[in-house]
Structure 1
């Protein structure tokens, strides 16, 4: 009887210990790759796959049920991931050389995915709050994309195809949506959203285009579309329910729009 009781307690102890186990799986193929992983909490999971030379990865997970997935193929790439909270999820894929990816997640159920294909690209995501999502994809060389989300249920998508494009987005509040699409070289997109349920979208096809959008309030919308080269569009919205649509086709178009108040409507079409 004592043997049976001892066996039962042993099984319970093993089950309890397993439930609190963090999981780390790592693969390194090549030369002089390095990784540093720190896991504190319950059932955090890290997967790391490095193929190539001189790649580095630093991962810190604090909390429970956080998941991190890293796949690096190439040389001299670096990844720095910090997760604190519950149920945060991160995935990064690097295919190329000298790419840099950084992510910080503090909160619950935040999600970030980063894809880098090419060389010398730089991407960064910071999330504080709940259920924020960020998707960042770079194909080319020397592109820069970064995002900051502070609040809940915010969404950012940044797509870069070409070389030396820059995209930056800040969201403070809840339910904000931001998209950047850059196809070409040397384009720049900047957005700042403060409030709730704002929408901003920038599409740039060509070279040396600039878009900027600032939204303070709730329910505002900015849409900026550029096809060509050396176009410039800047929109500022202060208030609620404002709408701005800007279409620029050709070269050297310029627009500056300001809306202060509520439920204002602006539509601009420029071409040559």
Structure 2
């Protein structure tokens, strides 16, 4: 008899938990706005507030305790799309401006995406997913934060596997930032673009399970600069600062525990830096300033090499190769 009562109580508790409802709150002020909310599962929450004209919001949530918050204030022609599949996902879209696009896709457990757009003609795309064999067992959440306060900027973030962090801040105009974090886990990327016409590409793991504990920081306050960072292996650090015009910095790190610092501040002619680090415990510092037109190539393989290059004036060129 005790067993029967226990089973009945357990069934009742399960039924109550399963019957939890979803919640949708929507407010629209203006003309020609459109919103679609689809929620399948339990305890999902959608909040949307729109003030403006001809804005479009589409929210799709499948799973348990997902949360979407989409706000458009005094804007026209904006588009926001959120797709969440899993548990405890959180997406925030906050738009003030015209003709912006924010697109979020989250699969897994406890991922977080925050997109803020206060300019016009900006585009932000976030895709977050975890290993499907693991996310139902334990949370290994990703975190993406995109802030666009200029005009005509574009940002793309792709996070796969486990616990990556990406922050993109675009306060200039016509900038582009692409961050791909497909390595094993705990990679960190920060891109800040306060100039105009800059491009940053950060790749932390092109094949699953081959990149972990890497850190990349790109700061572009100049004009028409380009940064490319590839980190494979673990525990690398790359810092690029471009305050000049038309510079190119490429950093490739493969192995473990490399460090690279590149500073480009020339204003008259474009600088070029290429850093290749293979093996372990390599360190490279490149500083380019003055009128510019400098070229620096550093290649280090083996272990425990250190290179420092300082170029000022105009038209300097150097190639450094170290191996053991």
TM-score (norm 2): 0.77
| Structure 2 residue 67 is matched with structure 1 residue 45 | no
The equivalent of 2:80 in structure 1 is 68
| Runs of 5+ unmatched residues, structure 1 | 1-18
- Deviation string 1:215-272 (CA, Å, 9 cap, x unpaired) is 1121111110011111111111112311111011111111111112111111100011
The equivalent of 1:14 in structure 2 is none
2:237 and 2:55 map into 1 onto residues whose CA distance is 41
Kindly state the Cα deviation for residue 150 of structure 1 after the two structures are TM-superposed: 1.0
The equivalent of 1:254 in structure 2 is 283
1:143 and 1:226 map into 2 onto residues whose CA distance is 18
1:38 and 1:71 map into 2 onto residues whose CA distance is 18
| Structure 2 residue 190 is matched with structure 1 residue 168 | yes
Query: Which of these residues, 127, 131, 135, is aligned with residue 152 of structure 2?
Result: 131
| Structure 2 residue 221 is matched with structure 1 residue 194 | yes
Higher mean alpha-carbon deviation, 37-46 vs 258-267, is at 258-267
The structure whose RCO (Cα within 8 Å, separation 6+) is larger is 1
| Structure 2 residue 277 is matched with structure 1 residue 266 | no
The equivalent of 2:143 in structure 1 is 122
Kindly state the Cα deviation for residue 29 of structure 1 after the two structures are TM-superposed: 0.8
Structure 1 residues 186-265: aligned runs within 5 Å: 186-240=213-267, 241-261=270-290, 262-265=292-295
Tell me the secondary structure at the aligned position of residue 145 of structure 1: strand
2:54 and 2:36 map into 1 onto residues whose CA distance is 13
* Bigger strand share: 1
Kindly state the Cα deviation for residue 200 of structure 1 after the two structures are TM-superposed: 0.7
Structural RMSD (CA): 1.0
| Structure 2 residue 97 is matched with structure 1 residue 85 | yes
Tell me the secondary structure at the aligned position of residue 27 of structure 1: strand
Kindly state the Cα deviation for residue 35 of structure 1 after the two structures are TM-superposed: 1.3
Kindly state the Cα deviation for residue 130 of structure 1 after the two structures are TM-superposed: 1.6
Based on CA coordinates, which of the two structures has the bigger radius of gyration? 2
1:237 and 1:151 map into 2 onto residues whose CA distance is 18
Kindly state the Cα deviation for residue 107 of structure 1 after the two structures are TM-superposed: 1.4
Q: How many residues get paired?
A: 254
Tell me the secondary structure at the aligned position of residue 196 of structure 1: coil
Tell me the secondary structure at the aligned position of residue 142 of structure 1: coil
| Runs of 5+ unmatched residues, structure 2 | 1-29, 131-139, 206-210, 303-324
TM-score (norm 1): 0.91
2:243 and 2:173 map into 1 onto residues whose CA distance is 17
